[in-house]
Structure 1
Amino acid sequence: MITSWDVIGLVYWLGIAYQAPRVLKRWSLITSCDPIQLCDACRDERREVIHEADQYEVWGVFGAALMVVLGAARSCYKPFIRASRRAFGKESLPTCSKGSCLAYTGGKAAA
């Protein structure tokens, strides 16, 4: 018998499976660019991703997969984090400037 928690869990894990390729693409873009050519928000995200990768490196391949799953799970909570920061009167977290940032445009770094 399928319960409501089974359906919620299925939807949650399908959402994570849907977000995982997007997270990998984003991380690939921000880690392959020169930090000087990134906006402040993407530079902070790059530093966080690299620091987190160093922590999960001990676990080998399982650590990399776990990092992707946790990153995809976190992306589901971003709208709630923004709303809660706004509700408590805190400043919003920085977002990508999108205009000149190579991580947004996906352009190749200048040689």
Structure 2
Amino acid sequence: MISEWDVIWLVWAVGTAYRAPRTLKRWSLITTCDPLELCDGCRDERKSVMREAHDWDHFGPVGVPLLVLLEAMGWYIRPFSPAFRKAVGKDPLPTCSKGACLAHTRRKAAA
């Protein structure tokens, strides 16, 4: 018999499995691009990703996959992040301006 917790666990696991490759692709885009060609939101995200990756270096080759997995595990919290930040009095995080941002247009990074 499947309990309600099994269903919740399954939904969470599927969401994490779906989100992990997308997170890795997004981080790959913003870390391989020239920071000058990124918008403010993507530049801030790039800085944060690079800082976190540096913090996880002591795990060796497993550090980055663990970091991606941890980011993907919080997929259900992401929509509530602006409300949480507002509740504690922090400014909202900058978002991608989309227009000419290299990370949004998904063009190849400059070599």
TM-score bracket, shorter-length normalisation: 0.7 to 0.9
List aligned pairs for 1:54-65, cutoff 5 A.
Answer: 54-65=54-65
Structure-2 residue corresponding to 1:44: 44
1: CA distance, partners of 2:108 / 2:60 = 29
Shift of 1:110: 4.6
CA distance in structure 1 between the partners assigned to 2:8 and 2:69 by the alignment: 17
Distance in 1, matches of 2:110 and 2:86, equals 38
Moved more, 81-90 or 42-51: 81-90
Query: In structure 1, what is the equivalent of residue 15 of structure 2?
Result: 15
Distance of 1:49 and 1:105 partners within structure 2: 20
Scaled by the length of structure 2, the TM-score of the pair is 0.86
The TM-score, its normalising length taken from structure 1, stands at: 0.86
Q: C-alpha displacement at 1:57, in angstroms? A: 1.6
Between the aligned partners of 1:62 and 1:89, the Cα distance in structure 2 is: 35
Whether the 8 Å CA contact 2:34–2:110 is kept in 1: the answer is: no
Note the C-alpha offset of 1:10.
1.5
CA offsets 1:40-92 (integer angstroms, 9 cap, x no match): 11011101111111111211232222111111123431111123345667542
Amino acid at match of 2:76: C
Aligned to 1:99: 99
**How far apart are 1:108 and its partner, in Å?**
2.7
Structure 2 counterpart of 1:25 = 25
- Which structure 2 segments of 5+ residues have no match? none
Consecutive unaligned residues of structure 1, counting only runs of 5 or more, are: none
Give the distance between the partners of 2:48 and 2:61, measured in 1 at CA.
19
- Aligned positions, number: 111
State which drifts further: 100-109 or 13-22: 100-109
CA RMSD of aligned residues (A): 1.9
* Identical aligned residues as a percent: 58
| C-alpha separation in 1, matches of 2:32 and 2:72 | 20
